[in-house]
Structure 1
């Protein structure tokens, strides 16, 4: 009995141990699950905080060249390197496009997805350039965004990077030789024609001058035929400069053969007409000379003392002479004139003179001699003509429309300048996202999107390559980058902890780079937030000679206060936050001087802030700038989406885009 009870007690103990172990395992699993959930929530919270502070996706794009020179028939390869990084738990979706701006067509478009990182290389071969000389524009763009998920926080705002590539094309050496040969041939043959045509016009003028004196049988028809040949040859010649400008040398070679044939025919006809006309004029002048000699003889006889019979007879001869002279002058045909002149010359005055010799009476023929016949003096000397083919114009095509490459004084380049980066720990590349949509939209209104520019951007070999199209170009720029030169290579360096005055000095270098690339002496700056203070300080330090317009967007012209100032120093760069504080020495000095002309100040307002209103960061009264053109745009703030930055979203604020466009066009 006792033994049985003892055995029962042992079984109870064993069951208790089993129950305890089971509960312990459950608790351990619960603790582990709780820890995992807490860790997951912590990770999510951490990633959300990083998202709020600006850590979304960072994208960079580089090319081995941004300017290419090609002779006709040559090829060149453009190599691109794309890098990007995002939240390690995010998927990334990217769209890239290589776009022919000149032809207004896409060369290649691609869409791809990846996780966390982007590492991609692209290569494009530029070939089949037009014959002649000119410039083509290409742009590679890539836009990447993160796909929202449980552990992937994103605003859904994509990041865009672009590179504008200029390609200058020209003739190859063989084509240049052909071009020079054709130029000499065309110019020499054209001068032959123009000289012959000038001679014909001179001949035509002389014929018109003496049309009442002399006509040549069949000459008018031959002259009209020559004029017709001249018109046809002139029209044919007029087509050649167009082909020359197109540098269609094959077509020109064929045209020259036809031109030579036409010119030879015309020259032959023109020369024959000249010879016929000159021969007829010579005959006419010979007749005029005979008549003049007859007139002289009559004048001598008229002065002689004659008897009455002879005097009357001489008077009759003079009357007949006068009538024939009148007939000669009224007739225009050379044959008729010759017959009349023959009749006059047929009078034997010598016999008459002999008959009156020794006459003792003293009477004279009382009759006046009429003459008025003059020889024709020709002036067929024509001025030497010139014909010069102008050097073919360089052709620049943009969005499918072509024109001669030339600079336009009013095509001011536009620089977009970002504002303060709220988180000093994120990459400076993130700041370049500002204005990307505005830059893209402005291209629809004729502003070429040139992507980004920085102090490390390689300069093109010649100044003004981006200004040849005559159209304005836009750049997104950042003062958060500097360059470090090492062994002849410029290495970009991120500098996000400088004062605003230091940034303004960097802005000067950026402006000079833009002026170099476009050959424009003045630029337009559109600056957001702290970027506006950078631009204003630049103007205070260096003047406004390089600034056509300055457009400020939500700029703390009188500083930031309250929570904006408090949290700025917690996450942002100390010197930037110090300078933007409403009572800073920097702002005191900046606002001590009168505002320069040409400043347009756009103020977003409508968010309640510290017993006042503003854009969620800057109070309305602190954004206002005296002596500037101030514009108010109403909006709202929601959560972390503050009007301060949201105003740049032109899909939500069309009035902002319209205002920017009006200012640019005004």
Structure 2
């Protein structure tokens, strides 16, 4: 091989070696660049935008929502994505899927939305996307997950026609409910009357009527509840149709008439009951008084009349017992029983008339005879026989019968008069004895005087009988015919003279007693025979009065619910929070997540928003609705004031101060601007806070800030006041600045102006930490990472713990580890709550306002 050829081969080898070296160098540089990009966070950016964030429609209408999805990935990378469309009101998954996207790919999903219920309210939907880079030789991705969410609000209201139907239905229902409540009180009143009267008045048939009315009333109540349910469901069209088809007034009027008739029937029943009570008491009294007739029947040996009297008494007693126990069939049957008793009473009175008349005539004669005897003994013979004519006795007898007939108590009255007569005789005897003592008169104890007393007594009796015998023949009355037996065998009177007659009369007068005929009458009839006494039963019935009732109230509501707009969230529905007081409810203040300093100045601002993904989703478990991201365009998206806050639940949003917007023609354009100082970022935060307050309708926000985001929030409060912020939770925020290697490297990877502001002793930090300019109304919390060498101090590898804490804040430390200057730093890992759950617990405690 010649020399030229060898040199040619050598040159070719050198050129090949150089070319291969250059290729290898390029490939190595390319690989380092890829890995550095991924190390600094330049992985996936998700662009998620619904066609419309908020809808206002009526029940029955529908709207189509179009979701636009695209991603940006590093060169040669693809992403595996999962999406889900959820009804957050009902907490129900409506759609989900998986797809693979590459840089610049676009994906669309359409959903047909309609109100979940009639009336007014708000439904909340959310579209969530999670993407992860697919690792390959040309895509050295770490496989971190990126999240994006977009909230969609469906607000619905009554149409004008529904509002008119609502008013018409209300105009019908309210008067009807008032009448129904009044009828309820009336029915309860009658029910109470019947219950209170039932122990003393037979109410079986009226209770059946009451039960039938109550059944009809219950049926009307069920129909009313069905109508009220339509009202509560805000189905005003269906309600108005039901009111037209259902004859409310006719049914109500029929029930009202029945209640009125029942009230009248109860009053009539009380009156009838009391009338029959009085009639029963009267008949029982008559039965008990029939002992006179029974005694006369015994004396006359009239067994038929005696049995009739005992049967009458027994039936009267049984009727009374049945009445008092209310075990009779009905008042009709009771009336029949009382009528039968009345007939038996009349029959007994009629059958005993002659016995009673004869008894009364006999006693009239005996009484006159007794008084004439006392008169003759007193020595007033000339005046005594004025009573002793049978004509006078008969005239008195006739007068008595004309005024008191028919009387079944003839014997009882006679016994009473006998008792009175004996008292009269006792008085006369006592007075005579007193007179004789005063006159010092005494009576001999010999037999001659005793015979004289006997003769005088017999002669006086004979004188009286002779005086009556002459006039008896002139009386033509069967009742007096029996008196003739009193004269049979009676001795005749004789003339008596002598001084012993006065002494005998005084003796008889001093020991005056009823005669033998009167004594015999008393022995026969006074008291009643024992057999009759055992049959007597005292009347135990009393009249019933309409009982006083306690106040009766109706449980029927006379108003209709206002049917406020209902907002459903997390499976629960409640009236939408629209009152002015909602604005100041601290537990519903929204959360704004503020990211920190971007270590890669070339990375998109959207990547910084992913720092709080895990925390934002975890807080939703605590009741904070994930509302996605707020950008400068959010304020222009046409969402009404307070829409995010209607559910009464707090929302959480992520925001970036790296984004700005400007108007180009008629459309706003959003641009990333990361090269500004913190003062500029604080100005942008002002717009974010104003947008969130306006969307939620709340007067304050809570801020959870990472790293430099805490400085942005503090500067905002210095520049614009702290009235809009409730709590500020700062995580790894360099409140005293960054130092050492981190400070040296900051301008190389991040923006220079930000780095200058965070240098210890910078003008910015001096103003920020001026003690006289600290917020007075905001509760501050600082969370510092510890366990990593941070410029020879304990910290999170980027910010020393002593730099993170503020003296006026509640301070917390979270221990962790770092992976070297190009490895993972605790500074960013603090937000990974799967590894550092203590961070999450501190945030939740701070949001609740718990003290450390």
TM score, norm. by length of structure 1: 0.77
Q: Point out the structure with the larger strand share.
A: 1
Partners of 2:201 and 2:148 lie apart in 1 by: 83
Equivalent in 604, 608, 613 of residue 789 of structure 2: 608
Which residue of structure 2 aligns with residue 619 of structure 1?
A: 800
**2:752 corresponds to 1:574:** yes
Any gaps of 5 or more consecutive residues in structure 2?
276-323, 343-402, 404-542
Q: Distance in 1 between matches of 2:147 and 2:735?
A: 29
2:685 equivalent in structure 1: 507
Contact 2:46 2:70 in 1 (8 A): yes
CA pair 212-23 structure 1, distance change in 2 beyond 3 A: closer
Report what 1:47 is aligned to.
34
Does structure 2 retain, via aligned residues, the 8 Å contact 1:636–1:642?
yes
8 Å CA contact retained: 1:73, 1:128: yes
Counterparts of 1:520-539 in structure 2, within 5 Å, are 520-539=698-717
1:404 matched to 2:575? yes
Alpha-carbon spacing, 1:205–1:54, altered in 2? closer, same or farther (3 Å) = closer
Within the candidate set 812, 822, 834, 1:631 is matched to 812
Per-residue Cα deviation, 1:597-624 (whole angstroms, up to 9, x for no partner): 5111100111112222211111121112
1:388 maps to which of 549, 559, 574: 559
- 1:585-596 to 2 correspondences below 5 Å: 585-593=763-771, 594=774, 596=776
Native 8 Å contact 2:71 2:106 kept in 1 = yes
Q: Distance in 2 between matches of 1:70 and 1:522?
A: 30
The aligned counterpart of 1:318 is: none
Q: Give the superposed CA RMSD.
A: 4.1
1:126 to 2:116 alignment: no
Given the alignment of the two structures, is residue 554 of structure 1 paired with residue 732 of structure 2, yes or no?
Answer: yes
1:177 deviation in Å? 5.3
1:135 to 2:122 alignment: yes
Partner of 1:271: 260
Determine which of 816, 831, 835 is the counterpart of 1:648. 831
- Equivalent runs, 1:200-239 vs 2, <5 Å: 200-201=187-188, 218-219=205-206, 221-223=208-210, 225-227=212-214, 229-231=216-218, 233-234=220-221, 237-238=224-225
- d(CA) in 2 for partners of 1:133, 1:568: 54
Q: How many aligned positions are there?
A: 588
Q: Indicate conservation of the 8 Å contact 1:144/1:158, yes or no.
A: yes
Q: 1:33 to 1:126 in 2, by over 3 A?
A: same
Give 1:227-376 correspondences, 5 Å limit.
227=214, 229-231=216-218, 233-234=220-221, 237-238=224-225, 240-248=227-235, 257=246, 263-276=252-265
Structure 1 distance, partners of 2:230, 2:637, is 35
Structure 1 range deviating more: 184-193 or 595-604: 184-193
Per the TM alignment, residue 396 of structure 1 is displaced from its structure 2 partner at its CA by 2.5
Residue 79 of structure 1 corresponds to 66
Instruction: Tell me whether 212-221 or 134-143 shows the greater mean CA deviation.
Output: 212-221
1:115 and 2:298 equivalent? Answer: no
Q: Which residue of 2 aligns with 1:431?
A: 608
Counterpart secondary structure, 2:89? coil
What is the Cα deviation at residue 525 of structure 1? 0.7
Cα distance in 2 between the residues matched to 1:404 and 1:124: 26
Distance 2:667 2:782 in 1: 39
The one-character-per-residue Cα deviations of 1:325-344 (angstroms, maximum 9, x if unpaired) are xxxxxx9999999x9xxx9x
CA distance in 2, matches of 1:152, 1:590: 43
SS of structure 1 residue aligned to 2:149: strand
Q: Deviation at 1:488?
A: 4.1
- Residue 555 of structure 1: CA displacement? 0.4
Confirm or deny that 1:421 pairs with 2:571: no
Deviation at 1:443, TM superposition (A): 1.5
Q: Give, in whole Å, the separation in 2 of the partners of 1:42 and 1:212.
A: 108
Residue 480 of structure 1: how far off its partner (Å): 1.4
Say if 2:743 is the partner of 1:565: yes
- Indicate if the aligned counterparts of 1:236 and 1:259 stay in contact, CA closer than 8 A: no
Q: Contact 1:214–1:334 (CA<8 Å) still a contact in 2?
A: no
Where structure 1 has 5 or more consecutive residues not aligned to the other structure, the ranges are 1-11, 287-330, 344-354, 356-372
> Do the aligned residues in 2 keep the contact of 1:595 with 1:628 (CA within 8 Å)?
no
Q: Is 2:162–2:237's contact at 8 Å kept on the other side of the alignment?
A: no
- TM-score normalised over the length of structure 2: 0.61
User: Are the structure 2 counterparts of residues 76 and 224 from structure 1 closer, same or farther at C-alpha, using a change threshold of 3 Å?
Assistant: closer
1:167 maps to 154
Over residues 551-587 of structure 1, what are the superposed CA-to-partner deviations in whole Å (9 max), with x where a residue is unaligned? 1100001111112221212332222112111111111
Match of 2:530 in 1: none
SS at structure 1 position matched to 2:246: helix
Residue 526 of structure 1: how far off its partner (Å): 0.4
Q: Deviations over 1:355-400 (max 9, x none)?
A: 9xxxxxxxxxxxxxxxxx9x99999x99999833223243322233
Contact 2:590 2:651 in 1 (8 A): yes
Change (3 A) 1:32 1:229: same
Summarize deviations over 1:111-156 as a string: whole Å, max 9, x none.
Answer: 2223333433333222473333322111112222322334434332
Of Structure 1 and Structure 2, the greater helix share is in 2
Partner of 2:618: 441
Shift of 1:54: 3.4
